Amino acid sequence: MNSASVNILGVAVITLLVGAAVLLTMVRYELGPKSRLARGGQWLLATALGTGILAFALKLVIMLAIVNFPETLVEPLIRKAIVERPVAVADPLYGMTSPQRFVWQPLPMVTESISTGSHATTNNSTYVWEALPEQAPSPKNNPVTPEKVALGERLFFDKKLSRDGTLSCSTCHDVIGGSGDDGRARSIGIDGQQGGRNAPTVWNTAFQSVLFWDGRAVSLEEQAKGPLVNPTEMGMVSLTAVEERIRKDTTYQQAFAQAFGVEQPITIQRIVEAIAAYERTLITPDTPYDRFVRGDLDALSPEQLQGMALFQSLGCVSCHFGPNFSGASLFDPRAPMRIFPIYPTPYEQQYELTHDSGAAGGGGGRGSWRVPSLRNVALTGPWFHNGSVTDLAEAVRVMSSVQLGRTGRYLVWADTNKVFTQLDRPELDEHEVNDIVAFLHALSSDKLVQRIQLSKAQAGVAFANN
């Protein structure tokens, strides 16, 4: 108990004692005799008149308890008060049921406009945190069926789809014991060739509106064609060659007949439709974050909750928003591409961030890239389009600097309206970085974490046995 509370308690005790003494004196020598009350009646009268003193004492105890033990008495009540229980609503988007929502009401904060340099207090708008749907949408021209999924899974793992029969889709996108990628900075294709970019995870790509780092594919079906004929990936000479190779394998005939109909021939379009149907089953709505948004308020640790609040207040949600934590998702596909990096910092040279310009082309400048999903991001390192960063905390530092301008004092010249702005955006401290990293871990699928741990354990046993 602090000194101020001790002083208040001392004064209050003296006041209570004096009040009680005065009351007893009045009843004993004045009110009692005049009312001709016996001793028992006098005590009853004193008790009735003393309820005010008892109420004051009770209020004093409650007040001192709240002041001295807020973490026990107050914070749990506040925590329950700020949470709005999730509500399922109808949503016409792709015929999906809308994900459940958790509304976080932000405190007023100061924001900065790069174009004008003005500072203003935000309005009362809320950012809506959403859980991932339990099922991915499928286009009307390629509905998901069990037969099509089974065929697509077989194709996904079939090395016949590569020119020399050494690679399958799963080679670079490990969905059995990995996080849907290969864990390399840049993937290795046929003949030991190294690709130019980091292999993104295949998990939750069903929710993306554009695919590949440069966003050049607008569907999973279109994306599936690319690696097949890429000379540094699977190396097939043409899509027709892929089609012919699968046709020659008589064991595929019944599977295609079951998936598409007996009269339908095996074509490259049906091959990629089957692969895409399988990939639409690769979703991970089983994260601590999803459990929290759906109503399990103990799913996130205090550090993860702090990181979640920072993720919003710092502006990370400007690009990584929605249930899939990506502006390139089907939920709101209005701005799937972003300039990266925005702010020039030493990180550019350290991690070669501008050697490849993505969709912008040309190289050596500000790149244009699809906004990647942050789901399972803690499992999918190394990070960025070139796989140059191997530590998640460092990736957070890089993004806070090159995308949010968290570099300290920063000078901006807007040539269009001739405005010179000096921004003061301090770098994140290590505590803030660690909280954000903790929140990013909350986006990891429980299923994938268990699979990866099991795979590592089995690999350790196999190594020991050798």
Question: Any idea which residues carry the catalytic annotation?
Answer: 233
What residues form DSSP beta bridges with 414? Answer: 419
Count of beta carbons in the 10 Å neighbourhood of residue 245: 18
**How would you class 248 by CB atoms within 10 Å of its CB: exposed for 0-12, middle for 13-18, buried for 19 or more?**
exposed
Vertex 359: Cα angle to 358 and 361 (nearest 5): 75
CA distance 360 to 63: 62
Question: Beta 408-414 vs 110-112: how paired, if at all?
Answer: unpaired
Residue among 168, 158, 173 nearest 205 (CA): 173
SS3 97: strand
Q: Which helix (H) or strand (E) holds 421?
A: strand 419-425
Tokens matching residue 60: 């004093």
CA distance 166 to 184: 18
SS3 121: strand
CB 277 within 8 A of CB 220: no
CA distance 348 to 354: 6
CA distance 81 to 126: 16
